[in-house]
Chains A and B, each alone.
Chain A
Amino acid sequence: MVEGIHSPAQVSDWLGLGRILFLVIHLVGLAFLSYIVYRRLIPLLRGERDIRFDRPLTRVARVFQYWLAQWKHPRYRSAGILHILIFAGFITLAIRSFALVIFGLSDGFAFPGRVGHLYDMATDWAATVVFVCMIVAIIRRLYWKPARYAVPERYGKDHTADAVFLLGLIAMLMLCDIVFAASNAAAHAQQGGAVEPLAALSLPWLLNRALAATPVPALLNVRLGICIVHELTFYFLLCYRPFGIQFHVITSLFNVYFAKLDRGTVKPVRWGEANLDELESFGVKRFEDFTWKHMLDFYSCADCGRCSDNCPANAAGRPLSPRFLSIKARDYSFQHYPVFGRTSARQEALIGSIYSEDEIWSCTTCGACEEECPLLIEYIDKIVDLRRGQVDDGKVPQSIQRPLKALETRGNPYGKLEKKRADWTLDKEFRLSCKVRILDDKRSADTLYFVDSITSYDDRIQAIGRATARILDHIGENFGIMGALEKDSGHDVRRFGEEMLFVELSSHNVQAIKACGASRIVTADPHAYNALKNDYKDVPPVEHIAQVIAREMDDGNISFNPVRNANAVYTYHDPCYLGRHNKLYDDPRRVLDAIPGLRRVEMDRCRDRSFCCGGGGLMLFYEPKEDQRMGVKRVQMAADAGANVIVTACPFCMVNMEDAIKVAGMEGKMTAIDLAELVDEQIVRRVPTDTRDAMAEETVNV
């Protein structure tokens, strides 16, 4: 800084103990903070194990992408920009804050030369920007009131007052910075010392002009006073952080670093425990059953509401709001593991106290919440863990007990006979056009078409199976199905918390797949696709039929006739487990766009913002409390986009869409078709050759 002006540390005439005062503030502040952080760590130390220390380079890269570069923030434009500015300002000022801490301790501390100058100017701007952002943010909260911040009655009182308090606190801190810089510069200027220029047009610069005529002693007093206020505010804010959503400022870096890397799969029942029979309890029943990372997630929730804003269950009026899963758990931990007072972990069941059963069963695991969260908070694993706890205690909704029992005894949720699993291939017309081989350890093929339960047994959905088989046949694929040897992939059994049944189904399938000798798997069912790709180990690589079609199209093996219905307007609905969880957005679209004359529009909510159809697998059996079906909302979105045909690539989406069209009374105005069905209709067919006839075998009923 400039010579001649005493640094606050040198001022002993005001308090007599200037330096000691600051020292005390710092020490006490830091001590407090340490204690508070330590108290907050206690529940994490009691939490379950979580393996998050692997692949450090990947994690660091993600920190750069999601934390530093604020990758997800712009998804909500104005709030995103606001936050990026605030964040940038904070990072800039953080250095300044620590500098001031040191500055208060030792004279002559300053950033060297030119860098110091630039830095000082940057901080002037930072303080200005953050201050203005705070004002804007407060106005947003009080007047514009974005819907996603609202707190529904059942979740308690509104958060606006707390938010405004926090924003005000930060604004005050910025103001301190600004006043300090301005008064400091003004004092220096009057004393005739070389003045470091303040950043032009920044608030310090403006204030500095205003203070130009103020007498120096007053300026010095102001400067000293504001320094103390700054210190106190700074430390108050710092220590206040672990008491609410503002905690995310401290925890966000760690939360992003430790965030889950493996998409699409579900965490094991207990990390590092291979022998599930040894465990005394499955799943999360009490708060302490959560892993430390999940507890960190609760601390890190910034209450932004983006998750719940995109949650389809929430939109449908189901009693689920992901945001409040986090907030309620956070409040629970604050209450039972307080900073001041005794830990009163009462080991009570979460479901029945802070969570309700319906809340937990309402989730379709679509992943919209996780996709949105800027802090990479995970929800699906928590819900699955909570469901595991319920299943362990026998508390499964009656409507799901029946299909679970059927899955156990018959390998499909409908309770239909195993030996009829391949009956969909027996359709008269179909048999003439396509022979489907049934594989086992004596009959093998290069490619396994994994059909899964709904396509095998549902009268309507069997058509998708036939279309898929015809497509594979058309491209000359050497393929077969497992027939009665195939059991349900268990994808949703796992996500509904019945882990042991999933283990049974999947181990059976893994063996059967090995026996049939296939080197790759194709499926038209995104749930099966996700299970085989992400849940199962030791199976050949799996593709969705959309990928196969796109590739064959590129290779010239598939070409299309002009679209049959030239007046129809098509829109593609991204299935959650094909799109969001596995990032397969483009292939289906390329296929549609390759059909001559096909008019396609996009819904507003598409790709990673696709709106779940209502859920698949066991969710089709569950009877939730809701205001409106998710599917109905979706078909309305399609209509709003100007479409009259919804194309989807998932049998569950198909069931939900067709159902919704009826319920919404849109029959005649909207239809749904599966991608495979559409392709099957539109493919330019070659005349069957002799070689292919020779390859095909008679389908045998197992």
Chain B
Amino acid sequence: MTARIFAYVAHVNGVPDDAASELLAGAKRIDAAATPTAIVTGTGEELDAACRALQDSYAEIWKISNESLAYPNAELVRKALVAVLPPGSIVLLSHSHFGVDLGPGLSVKLGAASVSDVVDIQGIEGNILKVVRQEFGGQLSAHVRCDISTGAVINLRPGAFKPLQGASPAGGSVVDKSSAVGALSAGRRYLETVVAEAADVDISKEPVLVSIGRGMQEQENVAIAQELADAMGAVLSCSRPVVDAKWLPKSRQVGSSGQTVRPKVYMACGISGSFQHLAGIKGNPFMIAINKNPKAPIFQVADIGIVDDVLEFLPELTTKIRETVK
């Protein structure tokens, strides 16, 4: 395969995103022999630190340092990437809030194809890349063909590509591409980030979470889950629909637009298991899922699955736990 594979790696405070290793794994799925190049943008010491951190995993790291890229504004990053990427490149992004912002527009400006939220890559057949995606909230999967003859921008689903084990350090070299990028401006300007209000509870630090979803049906039933959490000495968290319906505050949301949690034990109650929710769960906790629908996607990722009505199961579980603890 002649096209170069690039992986755009986001970083915060000089620490590269977890996605860096996932993108690497994804690149290897495209072509086992490939040596993808990482691209990092930013400015100053943080950028340098990020580059150093990537040297173990990536053979080559392209660094783009530019004042305007201090905060990753997708519109500006795109212009920078378009300036440095060779034609026909394959660019891998994580399908995060940033990847969603960057990917589609980047593909247009590169004249490349774009596939997003890819959960598996099956390989290349001539000029066709074969990938797997999911649709209908994860209820079905689909085989997708992507014509990469003019390049491609591929967004990988966070957490779908397991980092490779036992790879030897790549001893990557850092290439400074900053000069290829001139002054950057765009019709969208970053102002500031408003950090979510410090909540009464920081679920990202909790070891045991009882998490609820739409399956709880009514706001009044949240109490049932709270009782279980109390009995277990755990903390209540939830998926997005619960926050949209205003049953719990945003600080309790686990997911790509909520908190990232790393518990030891995760009880998923009435949660269907959309990937946005699962994206917020890291560290491979012991997960028990209770859901009325035997086909709920959550059962694919949980360790233990129980098909039952949460509204009946939880109170009984709570009662039994209380008796056990006594």
Within 8 Å by CB, do A and B touch in the complex? yes
Cβ-defined contact, B315 with A398, below 8 A: no
Contact at B315–A623, with CB atoms within 8 Å? no
Cβ of B218 under 8 Å from chain A: yes
Q: How far is the CB of A624 from chain B (nearest CB, A)?
A: 10
Interchain CB contact under 8 A, A662 and B218: no
Judged by a CB distance under 8 angstroms, whether B45 is at the interface is no
* B220 CB-CB contact with A under 8 Å: yes
Contact status B219-A662, CB under 8 Å? no
**Interface bits A381-410 vs B (CB < 8 Å: 1, else 0):** 000000000000000001100000000000
- Main secondary structure, interface of B, reads helix
Residues of B contacting A629 in the complex (Cβ-Cβ under 8 angstroms)? 220
Task: Determine how close the nearest CB of chain B comes to the CB of A399; give it in whole angstroms.
Answer: 8
A663 interface hit (Cβ, 8 Å): yes
Residues of B near A399 (CB, < 8 A) are 245
Of chain B, the residue at the smallest CB distance from A665 is B315
| Cβ distance B320 to chain A, nearest Cβ, rounded Å | 14
Q: Per-residue CB proximity of B210-233 to A under 8 Å, as 1/0?
A: 000000001110000000000000
Decide if B245 touches A398 in the complex (CB within 8 Å): yes
Report whether A663 and B245 are in contact in the complex, using a CB–CB cutoff of 8 Å: no
Write the B300-326 contact mask toward A (1 if CB under 8 angstroms, else 0).
Answer: 000000000000000100000000000
Contacts of B220 in A (CB 8 A): 623, 629, 663
B residues in contact with A623, CB < 8 Å: 218-220
CA distance A223 to B220 in the complex (A): 69
Residues of chain B within 8 A (CB-CB) of A398 are 245
How far, in angstroms, from A629 to B220 measured CA to CA in the complex?
Answer: 10
A508 CB to nearest B CB, Å: 28
Closest CB in chain B relative to A338 CB, distance in Å = 42
Q: How far is the CA of A623 from the CA of B245 in the complex (A)?
A: 10
Say yes or no: A662 contacts B315, CB within 8 Å. Answer: yes
Q: Which residue of B lies closest to A620 (CB)?
A: B218
Q: Give residues of chain A (582-629) contacting chain B, Cβ–Cβ below 8 Å.
A: 623, 629
Contacts of B315 in A (CB 8 A): 662
Q: How many residues of A contact B (CB 8 A)?
A: 6
The complex places the Cα of A662 from the Cα of B309 at a distance, in Å, of: 15
B side interface size, CB within 8 A? 5
Nearest chain A CB to B228 CB, angstrom units: 14
CB-CB nearest in chain B for A663: B220
* A398 (CB) vs chain B CBs: closest residue: B245
The interface residues of chain B lying within 8 Å CB-to-CB of A662 are 315
CA separation between A662 and B227, bound complex, in Å? 13
Least CB distance from A426 to B in Å reads 18
In angstroms, how far is the closest chain A Cβ from the Cβ of B126? 44
Question: How far apart are the CA atoms of A218 and B220 in the complex, in Å?
Answer: 75
Q: Which residues of A contact B218 (CB under 8 A)?
A: 623
Q: Name the residue on A nearest B217 (C-beta).
A: A621
Q: How long is the Cα–Cα vector from A663 to B245 in the complex, in angstroms? A: 22
Q: Which residues of A contact B245 (CB under 8 A)?
A: 398-399
Q: 8 Å CB contacts to A: which residues of B2-61?
A: none
What is the distance, in angstroms, from A323's C-beta to the closest C-beta of chain B? Answer: 27
Task: Give the docked Cα–Cα distance between A120 and B91 (Å).
Answer: 106
Closest chain B residue to A623 by CB distance?
A: B219
Shortest distance from the beta carbon of A568 to any chain B beta carbon, whole Å: 23
CA distance A178 to B215 in the complex (A): 72
A629 and B221 alpha carbons, distance in the complex (Å)? 12
**CB-defined contacts of B219 to chain A, threshold 8 Å:** 623
The residue of chain A having its C-beta at the shortest distance from the C-beta of B219 within the complex is A623
Q: Mark A493-511, 1 if CB is under 8 A from B, else 0.
A: 0000000000000000000
Q: How far is the CB of A288 from chain B (nearest CB, A)?
A: 35
Cα distance A399–B214 when bound, in Å? 12
| Distance from B244 Cβ to chain A, minimum over Cβ atoms (Å) | 9
A663 to B221, CA, bound (A): 9
Residues 350-399 of A contacting B (Cβ, < 8 Å): 398-399
- In the assembled complex, how far is the CB of residue A458 from the closest CB belonging to chain B, in whole angstroms? 12
Residues of B within 8 A of A663 (CB): 220
- Cα–Cα, bound, A629→B218 (Å): 13
Name which residue of chain B comes closest to A399, CB basis.
B245
- Name the distance in Å between B17's Cβ and chain A's nearest Cβ: 35
Q: CA of A623 to CA of B219 in the docked complex: distance in angstroms? A: 7
Separation of A662 and B312 alpha carbons in the complex (Å): 10
- Interface members, chain A 72-119 (any B CB < 8 Å): none
Alpha-carbon distance between A399 and B220 when the two chains are bound, in angstroms: 13
Contact with B along A658-671 (1 / 0, CB 8 A): 00001100000000
Min Cβ gap A410→B in Å is 17
CA distance in complex: A337, B245 (Å): 41
The proximity string for A residues 629-642 relative to B, scoring 1 for CB distances below 8 Å and 0 otherwise, is 10000000000000
Q: How far, in angstroms, from A623 to B222 measured CA to CA in the complex?
A: 13
A120-150 contact mask (Cβ, 8 Å, vs B): 1 or 0? 0000000000000000000000000000000
Query: Complex formed: what's the CA distance from A398 to B214 in Å?
Result: 14
Closest chain A CB from B245 CB (angstroms):
7
Chain A nearest CB from B293 CB (Å) reads 13
Minimum Cβ distance to chain B for residue A413 (Å): 13
* Cβ distance B213 to chain A, nearest Cβ, rounded Å: 15
Q: Enumerate B237-261 residues with CB–CB distance to A below 8 Å.
A: 245
Instruction: Say how far B280's CB is from chain A's closest CB, in angstroms.
Output: 24
Cα separation A399 to B219 with both chains bound (whole Å) = 10
Chain A residue with Cβ nearest B309: A459
Within the assembled complex, what's the spacing in Å between the Cα atoms of A436 and B6?
66
CB distance from A625 to the nearest CB of B (A): 10
Smallest CB–CB gap between B87 and chain A, Å? 48
CA distance A663 to B315 in the complex (A): 10
A662 to B224, CA, bound (A): 10
Instruction: Tell me, rounded to whole Å, the shortest Cβ–Cβ distance linking A542 to chain B.
Output: 31
* Measured CA separation A350–B180 after assembly (Å): 64
Q: How far is the CA of A629 from the CA of B245 in the complex (A)?
A: 20
Q: How far is the CA of A186 from the CA of B218 in the complex (A)?
A: 76
How far does the Cβ of B306 sit from chain A's closest Cβ, in whole Å? 17
Task: With both chains docked as a complex, state the minimum distance between the C-beta of B111 and any C-beta of chain A, in angstroms.
Answer: 42
Q: How far does the alpha carbon of A166 sit from the alpha carbon of B212 in the complex, in Å?
A: 57
Closest chain B CB from A626 CB (angstroms): 9
CA distance A399 to B246 in the complex (A): 11
Cα A662 to Cα B314 with chains together (Å): 12
Report the minimal beta-carbon distance from A457 to chain B, rounded to whole angstroms: 13
B residues 115-148 in Cβ contact with A at 8 Å: none
A297 to B220: give the CA distance in the assembly, Å: 36
Alpha-carbon separation in the docked complex, A663 to B218 (Å): 13
Minimum distance in angstroms from B10 CB to a CB of chain A = 35
- Inter-chain CA distance A518–B219, complex, in Å, is 42
CA distance in complex: A127, B304 (Å): 82
A663 to B224, CA, bound (A): 9
B105 to chain A, nearest CB (A): 33
How far is it, in angstroms, between the C-alpha of A109 and the C-alpha of B315 when the chains are bound?
82
CB-CB nearest in chain A for B292:
A459
A197 to B245, CA, bound (A): 77
Which A residue's beta carbon lies closest to that of B218?
Answer: A623
Rounded to whole Å, the gap between the CB of A664 and the closest CB of chain B is 12
Report Cα–Cα, A395/B181, bound state, in Å: 52
**What 1/0 flags go to B61-92 for Cβ under 8 Å of A?**
00000000000000000000000000000000
Closest to A621 in B: B218
Interface string of A307-351 (1 = CB under 8 A from B): 000000000000000000000000000000000000000000000
Tell me the bound Cα distance from A662 to B223 in angstroms.
Answer: 12
Which residues from 657 to 699 on chain A have a C-beta closer than 8 Å to any C-beta of chain B? 662-663
Cα A623 to Cα B242 in complex, Å, equals 14
A665 to chain B, nearest CB (A): 10
Q: In whole angstroms, how far apart are the Cα atoms of A663 and B219 in the complex?
A: 13
Nearest residue in B to A629 (C-beta to C-beta)?
Answer: B220
Q: A66–B220 Cα gap in the complex (Å)?
A: 42
A325–B287 Cα gap in the complex (Å)?
51
For window 10-27 of A, CB contacts with B under 8 Å fall at none
With CB as the reference atom, state the residue of chain A lying closest to B223.
A663
Q: Which 4 A-B pairs have the closest CB atoms?
A: A623-B219, A623-B218, A662-B315, A398-B245
8 contacting pairs across A/B (C-beta < 8 A): A398-B245, A399-B245, A623-B218, A623-B219, A623-B220, A629-B220, A662-B315, A663-B220
Q: Given A399-B245, A662-B315, A663-B220, 5 other A-B contacts at CB below 8 A?
A: A398-B245, A623-B218, A623-B219, A623-B220, A629-B220
